[in-house]
Amino acid sequence: MSGLATIGAAVIGTGFIGTVHVEALRRIGVQVRGVLGSSPERGRQRAEALGVPRAYDSLAELLADPAVQVVHVTSPNDLHVGQAREILAAGRHVVCEKPLAMTATESAELVALAARTGLVNATNFNIRYYPLNQHARDTVAAGDLGEIRLVTGRYFQDWLLLESDWNWRLQPERGGALRAVGDIGSHWLDLMTFVTGQHVVEVMADLATFIETRREPTGPVETFSTDRSAETVERHIATEDTAAILLRFANGARGSVTVSQISPGRKNSLQYEIDGSAGSVAWDSEQPDQLWLGHRDRPNEILLKNPALMGPSGRAASALPGGHVEGFADTFGAHFRAVYADVVAGAPSSRPGYPSFADGHDEMLVGEAIARSAREGRWVEVDRSGVPQPVTSEAPR
Ligand SMILES: NC(=O)c1ccc[n+]([C@@H]2O[C@H](COP(=O)([O-])OP(=O)(O)OC[C@H]3O[C@@H](n4cnc5c(N)ncnc54)[C@H](O)[C@@H]3O)[C@@H](O)[C@H]2O)c1
């Protein structure tokens, strides 16, 4: 046996997204050897429900399993750095959920550690892997849009609309100082850098907290769940429900993004439009198989995802023929296929096409500029003075 079939993975965290990781790994042919839950009992319950052979009692036990070469970190944000550090120190490749860390100081440390160990490292900015987003990147890189001038959009959800809505993300010590921006704005910002090839270099941000007191249930709450326990305690909330951010990109393009977790009716709506001197593209995550192509002197087009009509990157991210919708869970498989090509090779490519720890760190730097801009009420430059190497990804292979 060789290649993917010899690789074993383990997944830390068995909630909303840990489950998606397990299923995507199986689909691409990677053996999931076991999971680690928040407690041995919870891990065993989830392992049984998912049909995974083993639940580990601790990270130490997981890392002692010689059948595991790659570890996926899908625990709450405050655990990412400590777990990723131990995984790399134990010589295992790592795929970590976003946001990579709680602070840019921590994410810089992870980038340096990953470089020293020579192990494969990825941050799960999965939205890049909708086939049409890969295609949009190729379209921009080929110059079809001309010079990129305006990059606009939003990421709206409604699952934290009510004061009775609760999740660990609302606690800054678990989720981070930025909430809506760190949780979902980071996806939009990474996606726009990926598609345009341009980094955000300066930001002007207005953050708002509309629900300053929430009721925390005394029992546990699953992400996106609407079940509520009757007993609650009041909690003061200081992290943002919404953000409106003006952006300046490295090539001089301008932009804006609005982020919200309290927009009634918007379940998971990421939209963008990129306007260039020769054409535009626009995409909406709730209609992920359609890419709008805007023209000045001929009719506009809608490209339905179709491997036969897309370039190599779009084709590589597609698992199904045209007319067979590919959605959120499919992006994980496409992302992991790219990451595991490096795992099979034994080391990261010199500039990986998938989002690495360097890209996760870059979003932490942009996030810190956003937080500072909101605090000080002024434009703030993204400080990349400590970044040792270029972080722009090459086109995926
Ligand atoms: N890429 C994406 O699209 C995407 C989507 C959702 C969440 N996420 C990220 O994934 C992570 C998890 O989010 P979620 O929505 O699945 O949350 P969740 O609350 O549904 O799941 C988190 C899980 O981690 C477990 N856990 C807690 N402490 C643990 C520990 N010490 N060891 C092992 N497991 C532990 C919890 O029991 C829970 O099952 C977050 O970092 C989040 O930002 C990414």
CB atoms within 10 A of CB 377: 9
The pLDDT value recorded for residue 192 is 98
**Per-residue pLDDT at 7 exceeds 90:** yes
pLDDT mean over 267-287: 98
Q: What is the DSSP letter of 337?
A: H
Longest alpha-carbon distance in the chain: 63
CB atoms within 10 A of CB 147: 11
User: Ligand 1, closest atom to CA 167?
Assistant: 19
Location of structure tokens 């192509």: 293
Which residue lies with its CA nearest to atom 5 of ligand 1?
A: 17
Report pLDDT digits (tens) over 26-83: 999 999 999 999 999 999 999 999 999 999 999 999 999 999 999 999 999 999 999 9
**Per-residue pLDDT at 223 exceeds 90:** no
pLDDT mean over 313-323: 95
User: What phi, psi does 150 have (nearest 5°)?
Assistant: -135, 130
The pLDDT value recorded for residue 228 is 65
Report pLDDT digits (tens) over 281-294: 999 999 999 999 99
Predicted TM-score (pTM) of this structure? 0.95
**Per-residue pLDDT at 229 exceeds 90:** no
Structural contact between residues 275 and 146, judged by C-beta atoms closer than 8 angstroms: no
CA distance 317 to 331: 8
Which residue lies with its CA nearest to atom 38 of ligand 1?
A: 15
The pLDDT value recorded for residue 397 is 36
Q: Select from 351, 330, 331 the least CA-distant residue to 342.
A: 351
- Cβ of 124 closer than 6 Å to ligand 1, yes or no, is yes
Choose the residue to mutate in 14, 50, 63, 75 for probing ligand 1, maximizing ligand atoms within 8 Å of C-beta: 75
Alpha helices by DSSP H, listed for 346-378, are 357-376
The pLDDT value recorded for residue 224 is 66
Choose the residue to mutate in 38, 106, 174, 285 for probing ligand 1, maximizing ligand atoms within 8 Å of C-beta: 38
pLDDT mean over 125-138: 98
Name the pLDDT band for 219 (thresholds 50, 70, 90): confident
List of residues 6+ apart from 285 with CB closer than 8 A = 127, 130, 268, 269, 270, 271, 328
Report pLDDT digits (tens) over 341-397: 999 999 999 989 999 999 999 999 999 999 999 999 999 999 999 886 554 454 443
- Cβ of 97 closer than 6 Å to ligand 1, yes or no, is yes
How far is the centre of ligand 1, averaged over its atoms, from the C-alpha of 88 (Å)? 20
